[in-house]
Amino acid sequence: MLAMPAAAADYGHYVLGDTTARTPGKVQPGLLLMGGGDRNFDAMHWFMKKAGNGHIVVLRASQGGEIGEEFFNEIGGIASVETFVFKDRESASDPAVLAALKRADGIFLAGGDQSRYVRYWRGTPVAEALDAHVRAGKPLAGTSAGLAMQGEYLYGAMDGGSQTTPQALADPLGDGNTIETGFLHLDKLKGVITDTHFTERGRLGRLVAFVAKGESLAGRPLIGLGVDEDAAVAVEGDGRARVYATAPGAGATVVKGGFAQKQAEDEPMQLAQVETVVAGVDSVLHLPSGKIDRPAAQRRYAVRDGVLVALDAPLLVIHGGAGVERASLSAEEEAEARKALAAALRAGHAQLKAGKPAVEAVSAAIQVLEDAPQFNAARGAVFTHDGKNELDASIMDGASNRAGAIAGVHRVKNPILLARAVMDHSRHVMMVGDGAEAFAAEQGIALVDPSYFRTEKRWQQLQQALAEEAKAQASSTPLVLPGKAYFGTVGALALDAQGKLAAGTSTGGMTNKRYGRVGDAPIIGAGTWADARCAVSGTGWGEFYIRSAAAHEICARVRLGGQPLARAAEGVIDRDIPKAGGDGGAIALGADGSVAFPFNTEGMYRGWIGADGVPHVAVFRGEELARP
């Protein structure tokens, strides 16, 4: 049966099935809180069963009857589905709408513009009907905006926008955090503020801000409940809830309120500690208390000057360069590279475990990679046109915004240490060539004979490049280098136990480079960046990273655009740079513990290590790399 509009009215009305048929099963109480992603069939089947597999009424304020068609034709198992699409507040008093809600076995609040729901339904007979429906022991469900509407306090998006985490934390009591109440009165969500598309859109910080604003209005503690896109929380009549997930790791996060520090309007949020608990598929969530049996995770955060930072959750992320190709990597070389990545992770983790700041972990990890001949940095650096090894490096401390960089050195055993010395012991940010090496000698940085950097594989790569160049010259054809000619960098990012970030990058540049060419690795903002909320190290075609200020651009999209870290990183690395003609990869780390490993080549040496001290390493595309 096709969904056909019923008689003309001030609202859209769509019907599928027989609304007069007998309800097959027993109607039972329940709430379904869906995070807003692709339809969660198991969760929907739970909801349909709670509705006795009878008659479902869908309420929405945009689009048409599509969701009803999905419920009836794809999910199935119900007698009918009736959809009402509201266009104004007056329709919330329409007798036909109210009659349908009264006879409904289950009501579903669809996604859309939640400010319309507040304007159209709050204080109307529809809101009264929803409360009465739940009091009668019937199930109510909602997704996205339809979930956000169900808490005692809710984010109404009344200014026509949608708050991002940076915006919300920049002024938690401001007008942008339009926290509303007096809409629904559901016992199991009393004292709860809900949010959707949670992890995927980086909304933890904004939920913390919502709770703070809600508490300022309520004058009592509240909790926040954020549901991931790939998750749904099914709440039984007694308040016990379980998570249905359609992707590994998806769940629901409880933000414990009762914040001790009061916030000031027009001021960024300051909060010494925020506790969160995550409910996974094996957990039992109790509402409205927010207690979780068998939690999937428990985490502590702080908010400093409007920046959400993870506490007691040290994390190290590294890369050994993008552009890795299976055809050019033997099994033995691959094994050695993985071993070196793991060693670098352990070295950096040892610093974090000892309570050292993030810059110490970055330096320690990169030194191991510089000493490993498998990577194009220091010991394994490629050769210039003149048969020399020319080294660049940079480091940046996100906590202080200090940075140091060096370029074009030939005798510095560990360039990252010299970059660190520039940052710590000079008034400058970048030094190059002979002057940088003179400074290294003054600082006691180890200098070696240039032969130390020679490896046979890199020498042969230069010979091949010279031969290709000679061939092109002999045939009077331009030499077009593949993107992989520009690859080869190592980098590390660290988040220490105090929630502070650092980033570092080191490279030997590109094979057969001339004229003192310098890529992005030593350029702050291009190949390396760290600030209070975001750190990045790039690896790829440096000219394009420089032109786009790639590392800084990723963090700017997080800070100014409110984008989740992964989306920001993928947007720059996988879209902007290829569109301009380049390619490569990067690693990115947020102060909240989020990570990203975007790359658009066959492989990228990469890995991470967390508080448990277990290295996680991957090389090629398609390899599963568990996330923190």
Question: Is the CB of residue 40 less than 8 Å from the CB of residue 34?
Answer: yes
Q: Which amino acid is at 97?
A: V
Give phi and psi for 19, each to the nearest 5: -70, -10
Question: Dihedral through CA 357, CA 361, CA 364, CA 369, nearest 10?
Answer: -160
How far apart are the C-alpha atoms of 196 and 177, rounded to whole Å?
15
Active site residues: 489
Cα distance between residue 623 and residue 519, in whole Å = 29
User: What is the rounded CA–CA span in Å between residue 209 and residue 215?
Assistant: 10
Strand partners, 147: none
- 496 in Cβ contact with 611 (< 8 Å): no
Residues 6+ apart with CB under 8 A from 8: none
CA distances from 334 to 331, 458, 617 (A): 5, 16, 12
One-letter amino acid identity for 20? T
Query: Pick from 267, 60, 240, 55: which is nearest to 144 by CA?
Result: 60
Q: Which amino acid is at 57?
A: V
DSSP code, position 412: B
For the chain, how long is the longest CA-to-CA vector? 90
Neighbours of 339 (CB within 10 A): 14
